[in-house]
Amino acid sequence: MHTKYTLLTTHEAVLPHTVKSSLTPALPRLNPQISEEVQIAFSQEIAPLISDSSSSDWAPVNINSKLLRIVAKVSGRVFIGPELCQDERYLSAAVGYTVSVMEAQRAVEKMSPWLRPFAAWRLKEVRRLAQWERDAMAFLRPVVDARREKQRKGEEMDNDMLQWLMDSADQGQGKQHGKWGEDTTTTRKLARLQLVISFAAIHTTTLVTTHAVYSLAADKGLQAMLREEIQEVLEEHDGVFTTSALQAMKKTDSFLKETMRFHPLSQTSFSRKVLKPFVLSNGQVIPKGSIIEVPNYAVSRDPEVYSNPNMFDPLRFYNLRNEARGKGEMEQAATSQFVSVNKDFLTFGYGRHACPGRFFAANEIKMILAHLVMTYEMGLVEGETERYKDWDIVAGTIPDPTKDVMFRKL
């Protein structure tokens, strides 16, 4: 990613640490806030486009662009707090930063390596990244100052990523104590960390959700099945998306895992460049400069791993889980959950470097899909009879962002 020039801080240890130690354990408390923000975001982004006057009125919605803003708002509620998650300055930065990083990466890649140290900083694409950082500092500074004032007064502190990153500095996890190597005490560092979180989470979550919506729009029976499950689960949990309620959405969980298996965003997982010669336990030496990747797509379509791998089966993992439970193989059953990682499902990575934010992403996507199927009927545009085809890109597949989905209020 040419991080020296794109300023994409990929080795910020404080981020995965904070996600693991603060975000994931806080999800039971945060789920009601996430659910509330989902409803608010839909009322702003989707509801105005759908007519309430007649149940026969269908409206076209470019769902990818709308989901991008919905995911940014919902994620922002957890990442940056209620003060800013609806702020257009934040939304612009959260959405635009990822696009700018990719543009800057491509621009630097085209430049001769010997010239990069001297001229890469002058590229307009690289300068745009610095501007995003300045923009983020501008809208963050008053919020950070206000929170520090609350802290001085001994008031109750906020429960979000921004606050946890601020706290990590106060608890000796900032640069002044050298534990992580990051100085999270400065607004500039907080701004950069927030942009990195957006880069890692918002577009990927949007793409997975768009993939799921396209499959739903092409299959009314699938919509009905998930709607029935979600309604039953909510009735059993007093209409609240608690952790247990989300875990009980087993068919929805299976549908999402199958979506990521069948429509992987990347051909490979956890790409790594070897910075110095590395000796494996069997004595094999991996030379410096080697690129190591795991064939995510190939594994997901391997007939020795999955039966009928080229068929999309939304209940694939639901059935696998039930089969394992029926045999008393509870550990095997757990591997069929959406957030589980193993050698047969590599989209989230594997081992101790698996995506730490997958638990939050799973909850967020489930609540977004639940709101969709409980509020709207979805369909393809006139003339389309099959699910929209993916766009094949060098790294993997993405849903066609130009497509509309037809919506009708239930």
Rounded CA separation 183/361 (Å): 27
Segment (H or E) for 374: helix 358-375
More confident residue, 10 or 251: 251
- Whether the predicted pLDDT of 123 surpasses 80: yes
DSSP symbol at 26: H
Q: Which CATH superfamily is domain 10-266+301-409 in?
A: Cytochrome P450 (1.10.630.10)
pLDDT tier at 180, thresholds 50, 70, 90: very low
Residue type for position 130: A
- Whether the predicted pLDDT of 178 surpasses 60: no
Segment (H or E) for 378: strand 376-379
Asked whether the beta carbons of 172 and 179 are under 8 A apart, the reply is yes
- Whether the predicted pLDDT of 5 surpasses 80: no
Which range is least confidently modeled, 11-15, 199-203, 302-306? 11-15
Rounded CA separation 271/251 (Å): 31
- Whether the predicted pLDDT of 272 surpasses 90: no
Which residues have C-beta within 8 Å of that of residue 157, sequence separation ≥ 6? Answer: 147, 150, 151, 163, 167
- Whether the predicted pLDDT of 70 surpasses 60: yes
Rounded mean pLDDT, 241-270 = 95
More confident residue, 23 or 353: 23
Q: What global pTM score does this model have? A: 0.92
- Whether the predicted pLDDT of 111 surpasses 80: yes
Rounded CA separation 245/35 (Å): 12
pLDDT tier at 176, thresholds 50, 70, 90: very low
Tens digits of per-residue pLDDT, 91-109?
999 999 999 998 998 899 8
Question: Which pLDDT score, from 0 to 100, does residue 2 have?
Answer: 72
pLDDT tier at 353, thresholds 50, 70, 90: confident
Name which of 71, 195, 197 is nearest 137 in CA terms.
195
pLDDT tier at 393, thresholds 50, 70, 90: confident
Rounded CA separation 56/59 (Å): 10
The structure tokens listed for 231 are 């309604």
How many residues comprise the chain? 410
Which range is least confidently modeled, 12-21, 102-111, 177-186? 177-186
> Which residues of the chain are in CATH 1.10.630.10 domains?
10-266+301-409
Distances in Å between the alpha carbon of 141 and those of 137, 173, 182?
6, 21, 18
85-96 in b/e form (b: 16+ CB < 10 A) is bbbeebbebbbb
Question: How far does the chain reach from its first CA to its final CA, in angstroms?
Answer: 45
Question: Which pLDDT score, from 0 to 100, does residue 71 have?
Answer: 98
Question: Which pLDDT score, from 0 to 100, does residue 3 have?
Answer: 75
Rounded CA separation 153/181 (Å): 29
Question: Which pLDDT score, from 0 to 100, does residue 139 have?
Answer: 96
